[in-house]
Structure 1
Amino acid sequence: MNWTATGGAGHPAAEAFPHDALLYDTPEQLVATAAPFLRDGLAEGDAAVVVTRPENAAALRDALDDDPRLHVVDPGELYRNRTPGAITAVRRLAEQHTAAGAKRVRVLGEIEQGPDERGWLEWERYESVINEALAGWNLWGICAVDTVRVPQPVVESALRTHRQVVTPASRTPSPAFTPPEQLLRGLPVPREPLEDTHPRLEAADVADFIGLRHAVAAELAGLPAPADLVEDFLLAVDEMTSNAVRHGQPPVRLRLWTSPDRIVCTIADGGPGWDDPFAGYGPAHGEDLSRGGMGLWLARQLCDHVDISGGVHHPGDGGVSVRLTTFLR
């Protein structure tokens, strides 16, 4: 197959961001599709980057005869445990290689999505978001999915979040691809069992920010967690509480739970919430950070999970709630 595609800055035409799924059952199937993609890219002056499990990276190195132009990146370096950080890292990768003279950056990536539905949903959201978040960048991404190792829901989500499916012989539209805005609005908010228990701290009508921060900090002080993890969580609580007061409608309510493995806090108000399914995956005003709009973006980077319910996202009884979750490490 001739591995050419349009899309990205400097590549006018059809696809805003070429974002393909490669479903494979064996390492040989992966190499048969990915090696020509990377080899053709190098021949065209593109950078070629592999972000996979070590054994797959080694197989691709062999297939490309240890070409020194092939860049192998540790998945933990690029696909960080929080999805906004992964978007920033991929953009930085594009900037670095194009600044060094590459026409475009071809990335063969493989994400470890975690052992449960909570992680699967987070990375499905990421895979959908980057169809928009990486538009205009000199990138072509192929996401490899091992259909033997990963659960069936992850395979199905790959077909929903990638425009094209690639094999050694073809590159064809995914029959299940769902436009990102539609998919993001439809994703469920995972249930949090701690919310069925009595909260450790509850504020029914937030008015005293300083007092509230001290109260939350006092509840978290004795937890077996690194100090910087607790500080990050406190900052996220501050940002979301401030957002609720400035942009929502009273009363603003806060509830906090802790358990041996995680901290959970919900901040709720009576407002409509965000009418933007991509909110929080970049500053609200782009590169101009002086204009603010960073609260939800910061929260998504500071916490393991940020879930929004109510409002325009998941209409219910009125109002909107933001749930922050951080796992104790």
Structure 2
Amino acid sequence: MTGQSAVARTRPPHRYLHDALLYDSPAELVDIAAPWLLEGLAAGDAAVVATSAATADVLRDAVGGEPRVHVLERGDVYRARTPTAITTFRSLAEQRAAEGISRVRVVGEVDFGPTERDWLEWQRYESVINEALGGWPLWGLCVFDTQRLPDPLLESALRTHSHVLDGDGGRAPNPQFTEPAAYLRSLPVPREPLEETVPRLEAGDVADFIGLRHAVAAELGTVDAPRDLVEDFLLAVDEMTSNAVRHGGPPVSLRLWVGGDRVVCTIRDRGPGFDDPFAGYGPAHGDDLSRGGMGLWLARQLCDHVDISAGEHGVAVRLTVRLG
């Protein structure tokens, strides 16, 4: 890796704050988060709530229906793919800046999903945004219900937020915070059982890129799924295969599996790889999209899971999309 990561190069000259509140009851949530929002309004900040409907209702009541506290649908902010959530928060900051507001306070509550595989994407996100939003005029207070969330997610909350708010509403440095690059590198690449079965399609040494694309498209054409989903996945496969051919080392190989609930494609090359744990959470060349470097960024937006493994035998990029 050379120079700053892609997400760092896109920063305006401001500073992002990323705090956590682990609460035991709705009363504790209200006692800390509601004054935090109102203090922001008094200081001239915008105040936004992007949480579950239940949490939003509690906070709305606690601030007395204050109209300047904007409640957003959680699904409109924390969308299915984590890079889209990053883009959404950046857009929110830009909109408020255009209105003359210098900072946006956001009470956020991620929907981590039902499985550990889903959790992982959002655990990555909570760490990545320390870098991806690092220069944006946002102050995030991420709230975690200790009575509902499993221990691994509560532990992750403490490792991904540099400051915590305590029961008295005080803000303190978090000694359990782990630098984002180190935390991201510590996360596992999950096992994919489909990779242990016979693939639907296998290309051992990609030479005919156009022919391979037609072969992948033909296999995906048999999948019972919305066409938009299939086309998006094909585009992600195209981008990652093209990246491997251009930037990796030969031979480049591809294997495709179709399961009952998901499609998986793994692209391998023998190149030296790269060591940027933030790769794909922003275009490689920042806002200048004319310079390219969008492949992994697009793949992360088009797929439910993007897993990268690098070692002495090269690099593997695994793309997964859920069906239906």
Query: TM-score by structure 1 length?
Result: 0.93
Superposition pairs of residues 163-202 of structure 1, within 5 angstroms: 163-169=162-168, 170-202=170-202
1:318 aligned to 280, 300, 313, which one?
313
- Write the distance in 1 (CA, Å) between the matches of 2:104 and 2:12: 11
String of CA shifts for 1:217-247, please: whole Å, max 9, x gaps.
1111121100010000000000000000000
In the alignment, does 2:304 pair up with 1:265? no
- Write the distance in 1 (CA, Å) between the matches of 2:184 and 2:194: 25
SS of the residue corresponding to residue 254 of structure 1 reads strand
Size of the aligned set, in residue pairs, is 313
Superposition pairs of residues 16-95 of structure 1, within 5 angstroms: 16-95=15-94
SS of the residue corresponding to residue 325 of structure 1 reads strand
Deviation at 1:167, TM superposition (A): 2.2
SS of the residue corresponding to residue 198 of structure 2 reads coil
1:86–1:25: structure 2 CA closer, same or farther, 3 Å change rule? same
String of CA shifts for 1:76-104, please: whole Å, max 9, x gaps.
00000100000000101111112112120
Give the % identical residues. Answer: 68
SS of the residue corresponding to residue 71 of structure 1 reads strand
- Write the distance in 1 (CA, Å) between the matches of 2:226 and 2:12: 42
Deviation at 1:254, TM superposition (A): 0.1
- Write the distance in 2 (CA, Å) between the matches of 1:44 and 1:10: 20
Alignment match, 1:4: none
Deviation at 1:122, TM superposition (A): 0.8
1:323–1:44: structure 2 CA closer, same or farther, 3 Å change rule? same
Alignment match, 1:3: none
SS of the residue corresponding to residue 222 of structure 2 reads coil
AA at the equivalent of 2:87: T
Deviation at 1:27, TM superposition (A): 0.9
SS of the residue corresponding to residue 148 of structure 2 reads coil
In the alignment, does 2:284 pair up with 1:284? yes
Deviation at 1:10, TM superposition (A): 6.6
- Write the distance in 2 (CA, Å) between the matches of 1:219 and 1:62: 52
Q: Which has the higher relative contact order, 1 or 2, with Cα contacts under 8 A spaced 6 or more apart?
A: 2
- Write the distance in 1 (CA, Å) between the matches of 2:246 and 2:13: 40
Alignment match, 1:308: 308
1:28–1:10: structure 2 CA closer, same or farther, 3 Å change rule? farther
- Write the distance in 2 (CA, Å) between the matches of 1:225 and 1:274: 34
SS of the residue corresponding to residue 80 of structure 1 reads coil
Deviation at 1:168, TM superposition (A): 4.0
- Write the distance in 1 (CA, Å) between the matches of 2:245 and 2:200: 22
- Write the distance in 2 (CA, Å) between the matches of 1:183 and 1:18: 18
- Write the distance in 1 (CA, Å) between the matches of 2:13 and 2:274: 33
Alignment match, 1:161: 160
- Write the distance in 2 (CA, Å) between the matches of 1:89 and 1:103: 17
Deviation at 1:287, TM superposition (A): 0.5
AA at the equivalent of 2:253: R
AA at the equivalent of 2:317: V
Deviation at 1:274, TM superposition (A): 2.0
Alignment match, 1:244: 244
- RMSD (Å) for aligned C-alpha atoms: 1.2
